[in-house]
Amino acid sequence: MSTFKEIRGQLIKSLSSDPSPVVNGDMWYNSTSQVLKGRLSTAAWSSGGNLSAASNALAGTGTLTAGVVAGGRDNPSDFDTTTENYNGTAWTGSGALTTGRTISAFVGTQTTGFYMGGIKAPANTASNDVENYNGSSWTNGTAFSLGRYAAGAAGTNTASVLFGGNNIGGTGTTSNVEEWNGSSWSEVNNLPSAILGQNSCGTQTAALCIGGPGGSTATLEYDGTNWTVVGSLNTGRSNGGAAGTTSASIMATGGAPSGLPTSTELYNGTAWSNSANVSLARQELGSARNGSASSGFWIAGGESPRTAATEEFIQADATKTFTTS
């Protein structure tokens, strides 16, 4: 074990007891126990409960212990109405969507879900339908203007923003942005360019648009009025799982031109950093949009090929003792 005299040149404090409070990155020498200590974060993925059936192109929201997924397909021609709730351990079936859809946007909580757009039958139509979820059943909401699938979204059932996506045969991939105030939709400032398949999280007035097709690494931040380019992903991706805020978010797996990345990245409001890898890379999945790295996050279903698997992420802070050989 190194002595304090051997490490004191590194500007490490010598303390008779561990400090309080302590934050990540702190290091100190405990002179009573004569050990070097530091506060570090550890991150890991673990297996969660499986969905009732393998499914991709579904959408999810909620938290680690109160989540929900809906829609998707368990074969290439399906437009599923399936809904399942998650309690942090197992998935259970719930009330069916009014209209089966794939690649929709989903925000809100397990009991105040807000499900928007997607592709619906017949003839692969881009939907502008909205459905509200109360934890057990669905009711139709107010449709927005431009039907779209693979759009980004952020917010709640009373204050949300929907951006980008594809209109299928109409305007195609779009930069259009619409906001919901709890009673009506309005069109607001467009994205800088048209995009679909982007990852997204946040609120109506503080949202992130992350990555996109073609291996895009771009991250855009929305402040309720304007879009600003911020820190770039280390690995470009689309149709993955994201959650959090503009100052603390998580981005996991997804699709990329070179394949499906297993990597997870964490955002601190300025830059993205790599974290623990998922076990099963996938795209077109559901995720805990209201989760976070510290409170917990899950991804479920997806295509890798099509899977029912759920994985859970948690980042924990811990004080570590350092030794030398």
Per-residue model confidence (pLDDT) at position 10: 55
Dump pLDDT digits (tens) for 211-251.
999 999 999 999 999 999 999 999 999 999 999 999 999 99
CB-based contacts of 208-212 (< 8 A; 24+ apart in sequence): 208/154, 208/242, 208/246, 208/249, 208/267, 209/152, 209/163, 209/164, 210/242, 210/249, 210/251, 211/236, 211/237, 211/238, 211/240, 211/251, 211/254, 212/236, 212/238
Spatial CB neighbours of 76, under 8 Å, sequence gap ≥ 6: none
Asked if 111 and 86 touch (Cβ cutoff 8 Å), the reply is no
Output 82 or 34, whichever has higher pLDDT.
Answer: 82
Q: Specify whether the CB–CB gap between 309 and 47 falls below 8 A.
A: yes
Q: Please give the domain boundaries of the chain with CATH numbers for all domains.
A: 4-42+317-322 (no CATH), 44-315 (2.120.10.80)
- Partner residues linked to 296 by β-bridges: 292
Measured in Å, how far apart are the chain's first and last C-alpha atoms? Answer: 7
CB atoms within 10 A of CB 27: 17
pTM score of the predicted model? 0.88
To 5 degrees, how large is the angle CA 63–CA 101–CA 281?
A: 55
Region 254-259: mean pLDDT is: 95
Q: Which of 163, 207, 155 is nearest to 182 (CA)?
A: 155
Q: Are strands 272-274 and 13-15 parallel, antiparallel or unpaired?
A: unpaired
Q: At 124, is the pLDDT very low, low, confident or very high (cuts 50, 70, 90)?
A: confident
Tens-digit pLDDT profile for residues 172-186: 999 999 999 999 999
pLDDT at 5 over 70: no
C-alpha distances out from residue 288 to 220, 228, 275, 292, 324, Å: 21, 25, 18, 8, 40
Distances (CA, A) of 224 to 68, 250, 316: 26, 21, 32
